[in-house]
Amino acid sequence: MAKNFSFSKLWKGPFGTYLIVIVAYVIFQVLASTGNLPSVIIGLLPTICAYIAAAVSLNLVVGISGELSLGHAAFMSVGCYTGVVAATCYSAMFDIPWLVFFLSMFTGAAFAALAGFVVGVPVLRLSGDYLAIVTLAFGEIIKNIMNNLYVGLDASGLHFSLTSTTDLHMTNGKIIINGPQGAVGIEQLSTFFFGFILVMLTLAVVLNLVRSRSGRAIMAVRDNSIAAESVGINTMKYRLMAFVVAAALAGMAGVLYAMNYNAVVPVRFDYNASILILVYVVLGGIGNIRGSIISATVLVVLPEVLRFMSEYRMLIYAIVLIAVMVLPNVPAVKRFLDYLPTKLPFLRKRSEVPGDVVGGAE
Amino acid sequence: MGFLENLINGVSLGSVYAIIALGYTMVYGIARMLNFAHGDVIMVGGYVSFIIASSMGLNPLFGILAAVVVCTLLGITIEKVAYKPLRQSASLTVLITAIGVSYLLQNLALLIWGANPKVYTSVVAGWPKLMLFDGQLIISAETIVTIVVCAVIMVLMVLFIHKTKMGKAMRAVSEDPGAARLMGINVDSTISTTFAIGSGLAAIAGVLLCSSYPTLMPTTGAMPGIKAFTAAVFGGIGSIPGAVLGGILLGIIEVFAKAYIGTQFSDAIVFAVLIIVLLIKPSGLLGKYVPEKV
């Protein structure tokens, strides 16, 4: 056993990814508690965790399953709103914040998974750009419904309406979801620690799924669906599996995200939000879980860091985005990038095996 | 009368979608890319014509002309700087770059023109309205002009694609870029021309859109862009009559949904119809079905 032990092998595997997250959590926690972190960033920590979870789960769809989805934020919104409603009900039952939080998170995940199933069954009959546009359409439909959803809670239970708050017919009830104003009066239960737990949970689900029999089937369908079908893999089942698992994880991320704020409007989860998550995945490297974690962190923090440039910050953000995508493909820069490793040995890539990008699969 | 009025308004809105969708579908057909920045070119066209016609007080015709010229140049520049280096890259890389360009245009517009909505003066302001059935049915000049312009553009585009040398080159490139290059077609300049035409059409769409719906903001182009994109997919992406048909149907559905079901769910209904059509006919209404070969 001991003879075969190699740190670099362990580092490349899932344990390396867990280790990065744990170390990053400890560093940020220490920085925050010693007051070395600006308060803006401290408030942003659960949001960063939510976006990491969302990006990793989207990477399961885009990278591992190979489907371009432009409606991922919609599953966050389903998780967010069901989670907030559930939290209001649960906190009437128990007075333990962490229990309320995690129960709401799983409720949100369950509903998001249900939404993922309902959307996935028709959507996954398509492929390529058509699948992308239909996921976008579903995302807009879900946003549109959320924009007109009214939910209230009173002594007799939950009330729903799709027209207005007066249609809820409540007596001294509390309005939880108020149409275009979204979820209001949310209990701010999210903490950095809960965010850390969610990220670890997401990683555990995705990394274990990727290395399981099902995960290999999902990747086989991605690489060549006809070949996969010919060896008896049920392509629909595995594509749907990746889609639903990703939706459930996004739902959890939505709950964490919502409970970091007082109120969350449905417009937060429009197609721009979906595209933003996709940007994290693509910049981090499609199929690369660690890349998603890093790019989500950097890109959530970047606009805050650029705040001193006030109105120019989104402009800079856009230019950085274009530059990162385009520059490596400009011939002169490409030649330079190919030339660098010949002079600097530590930059040399060890392997060029395509399967290696998946969080270091064996 | 209400039905007829809604139908005409729907066709008018749909005509704007159709003109935008033409740009989408041509670029997709030839470069195989989803140009997400297309909607923002509409917005730029709207602003340019606004500056010329409303702020400087010149004839609206100059405004339209300036918008077309600026947007065409903008389209060519975007293509040269952002998309050309990515010809060989994965489609997702190109998609993200297009999103970056879209953010860039929106934020540039925000810096130059501010976030406050501008009230756009219609390019045909003061033209007489058409009264039918003893004044029971009133059709505005904007509506008529939009529908006529759309019809003219569609006829011109079909003629251009089928009768000119450049159109032939475009069809060849969309069929097989490699083989087209071997036949001596300059693929790069063909793609640039496509972008130029698409952006010029977007400028016209911007002017027409703002004439009918006179609020102009940096995000004005985003939603019509997305809707036109669904219209292009709806009609079968890559097909020019498909884009026009998809655009007009989408406009009619949207106006009818607003009139008979309620404004708040009109977007959901438009997208639901798109999903149903794609599930029944995955290549869109007029798209070609290409079976997967093993």
pLDDT at B199: 93
Whole-angstrom distance, CA of residue A73 vs CA of residue A234? 28
User: What's the token pair of residue A269?
Assistant: 């989860």
The residues of B whose Cβ lies within 8 A of any Cβ of A are 28, 34, 81-82, 85-86, 88-93, 95-97, 99-101, 103-104, 106-108, 110-111, 226, 229-230, 233, 237, 264-265, 267-268, 271-272, 274-275, 278-279, 282-283, 292, 294
Please give the model's pTM, rounded to 2 decimal places: 0.83
**H/E run at residue B99:** helix B91-113
pLDDT value at residue B56? 78
Q: What is the pLDDT of residue A359?
A: 40
Asked whether residue A340 carries a pLDDT value surpassing 80, the answer given is no
How many C-beta atoms lie closer than 10 Å to residue B104's C-beta? 21
The domain spanning residue B37 has which CATH number? 1.10.3470
Residue B291 resides in a domain: no
Residue A40 forms part of a structural domain: no
In terms of residue numbers, what domain contains A205?
Answer: 45-357
ipTM of the shown complex: 0.81
- Whether A49 has a pLDDT exceeding 90, the answer reads yes
Average pLDDT of A160-178?
Answer: 77
Compare CB distances from B271 to A122, A140, A279 and report the shortest one's residue.
A140
- CA A79, A80, A82 angle in degrees (round to 5)? 65
Q: What is the band of A344 on the pLDDT scale with cuts at 50, 70, 90?
A: low
- Which 3 state secondary structure label does DSSP give B114? coil
Q: What is the pLDDT of residue B85?
A: 86
Q: Is residue B85 part of a domain?
A: yes
Q: Give the nearest chain A residue to B109 (CA atoms).
A: A315
Is residue A147 predicted with pLDDT exceeding 90?
no
Question: Per-residue confidence at A345, pLDDT binned at 50, 70, 90?
Answer: low
Average pLDDT over residues A265-286: 86
pLDDT one-digit tens code per residue, A59-87: 999 989 888 888 899 999 999 999 999 98
Tens digits of residue pLDDT in B174-228: 888 889 999 999 998 999 999 999 999 999 999 888 888 888 888 888 888 888 8
Residue B249 to residue B148: CA distance in whole angstroms: 16
Q: Which helix (H) or strand (E) holds B194?
A: helix B187-212
Residue of B106, B111, B275 lying closest to A137 (CB–CB): B275
How close does chain A come to B61, measured CA to CA in Å?
32
Question: Residue A233 falls within a domain, yes or no?
Answer: yes
Is A138 at the interface with chain B, CB within 8 A? yes
Q: Is B19 part of any domain?
A: yes
d(Cα A248, Cα A54) in Å, to the nearest integer? 10
The answer, yes or no, to whether residue A167 has pLDDT greater than 50, is yes
Q: Above 60 in pLDDT, residue B292?
A: no
Supply the range of the domain harboring residue B77.
2-280
Q: Is residue B287 part of a domain?
A: no
Question: Is residue B292 in a domain?
Answer: no
Report whether A175 contacts A145 (CB < 8 A): no
Residue B77 has a pLDDT of 92
Q: Tokens for A180, please give them.
A: 């275009």
Domain-located, residue A234 = yes
Residue B290 forms part of a structural domain? no
Nearest-by-Cβ selection for B275 from A134, A311, A322:
A134
Q: Is A350 helix (H, G, I), strand (E, B) or coil?
A: coil
In-domain check, residue A61: yes
pLDDT of A1 higher than 70: no
pLDDT in tens, B115-161: 888 888 777 777 777 777 776 777 788 888 889 999 999 999 989 98
- Evaluate whether residue B110 is within a structural domain: yes
Q: What is the count of structural domains for chain A?
A: 1
pLDDT of residue A362: 32
Nearest Cα to B74, choosing from B47, B34, B110?
B47
B28: chain A residues, CB-CB within 8 Å = 129
CB contact under 8 A, A137 and B264: no
The answer to whether the Cβ–Cβ distance between A318 and B103 falls below 8 Å is yes
Range list of H helices, A259-330 = 271-284, 289-305, 313-326
Determine the pLDDT at residue A353: 40
Q: Say what percent of chain A tops pLDDT 70.
A: 92
Residue from A140, A161, A181, A280 whose CB has the most chain B CBs within 10 Å, to mutate: A140
CB proximity under 8 Å: A 308-337 to B = 311-312, 314-315, 317-319, 321-322, 325-326, 329-331
**Is A148–B267 a contact, with Cβ atoms under 8 angstroms apart?**
no
Residue A340 lies in a domain: yes
* A295 alpha-carbon distance from chain centroid: 12
Position A362 in a domain: no
Closest by CA to A331, choosing from B84, B30, B32, is B84
Which DSSP letter does residue B209 get?
H
Angstrom distance (rounded) from CA B71 to CA B69: 6
Residue of A62, A125, A129, A133 to mutate, testing the B interface (most B Cβ within 10 Å of its Cβ): A133
In contact, B180 and B172? CB cutoff 8 Å? yes
Expressed in angstroms, the distance from the first to the final Cα of chain A is 18
Inform me whether the C-beta atom of residue A42 falls under 8 Å from chain B C-beta atoms: no
> Over the stretch A85-125, which tens digit does the pLDDT of each residue have?
998 888 888 888 888 889 999 999 999 999 999 999 888 88
A321-355 as b/e, with b when 16 or more CB fall inside 10 Å?
A: bbebbbeebbeeeeeeeeeeeeeeeeeeeeeeeee
Tally A–B CB contacts below 8 A.
114
Asked if A226 lies within 8 A of B86 by C-beta distance, the reply is: no
By the 8 A CB rule, do A76 and A257 touch?
Answer: yes
How many separate domains does chain B show?
A: 1
Tokens of residue A45, six digits: 């920590």
Residue B111 with chain A: CB contacts under 8 Å: 311-312, 315
CB atoms within 10 A of CB A34: 8
Q: Which of B30, B14, B8, B32 is nearest to B234 (CA)?
A: B14
pLDDT of residue A348: 54
